[in-house]
Amino acid sequence: MLIEFMMIFLTLVNLIILSTSRLSTCIKVIAFQGIILGVLPVAGGQFDIQLVIFSIIAISVKAILFPSMLLRTLSQLNIHREKKPYVGYGMSLLIGLGAIVLSWWISKNLPLTITPANSAVLPVSIFTAFVGLYLIITRKMALTQVIGYLIFENGIYMFGVILPQKQPLLVELAVLLDAFVAVFVMGITIFHISREFDHIETDQLSTLRS
C-alpha cells in the first residue's frame, strides 16, 4: 500500500516538473524524488541492516546533497525561471500524460519473468526516465538539463531496485559516488558558462559546427 502511494506521488511530481518554469520547484522535486527512492528498497518490509544503511546514504546524497548543490549553483546565477523551452508547458504536460499510458503499456508487455515486489514500480520507473530525457532535450537552461539528467538516472535506479538480484553494496555506493562527482563537475561548468556568456542557455552554445 505504501509503495503504491509513493508511486502515485512520484507520477504527480513528474508531471509538476514538466509543467513548471520555476527552477527552485524543479530542485525541490529532485529532493522529493530522492527521499522516495531512498525509502523504496526498505518499503517492502524486509529489514536488512545493509539495506537500511544504504537507504540512509542514498537519501542523504539524493535528497539532501544534490538539491543543496543545485540550489547553491542557482543562487550564484541570479535566475529563477526557465526561458521559453522548445516545447511549451501545456504541450509538455499532454505529452507527459501520453508517456504515462505508454510506460504502463510497455511494462505490461515486457517479458519480465521475475515478479517485482510491486507492479506499479516498473511503469513509474520508465515514466521517470522518460521525463528526465524529455527535460534534457526540450529545455534550454543548462541547469534544467542537469536536473533532467538526475531524474533520468533516478528512473534507471528505480528499475534497479525491482531486480531480485541486488547489485553488491560496493557497486551501488560507487554508482552514487559517480553521480555525485557528475553533479559537482556539471555545477562548476554551469558556473563557468554563466560567467562566460552571462546566461546559461545552451541553445546559444553553437559555435562549433561540422
Q: Which residues of the chain form contacts with another protein (CB under 8 A)?
A: 111-114, 129, 133, 136, 142, 145, 149, 152-153, 156, 159-160, 163-165, 167-168, 171, 174-175, 177-178, 181-182, 185-186, 189, 192-193, 196-197, 202, 205-208, 210
**Distance set, CA 165 to CA 25, 116, 162, 174, 176 (Å):** 35, 11, 9, 17, 18
Of residues 4 and 178, the one with the C-beta less far from another protein: 178
Grid cell at residue 127 = 515514466
Alpha carbon distances (Å) from 12 to 16, 88, 128, 133, 190: 6, 19, 11, 17, 28
First to last CA, the chain: 54
Half-sphere exposure of 148 (CA within 13 A, CB side): 18
In the complex, minimum distance from the CB of residue 205 to another protein, in angstroms, rounded to a whole number = 4
* Choice between 120 and 129, CB closer to another protein: 129
Nearer to another protein, 5 or 204 (CB): 204
User: In this complex, which beta carbon is closest to another protein, that of residue 120 or of residue 186?
Assistant: 186
Q: How far is the CB of 90 from another protein (least distance, A)?
A: 26
101 or 174, CB closer to another protein? Answer: 174
Minimum gap (Å) between residue 197 Cβ and another protein: 7
How far is CA 203 from each of CA 81, 140, 177, 200, 209, rounded to the nearest angstrom? 16, 6, 30, 9, 13
- Least Å distance, CB 122 to another protein, is 11
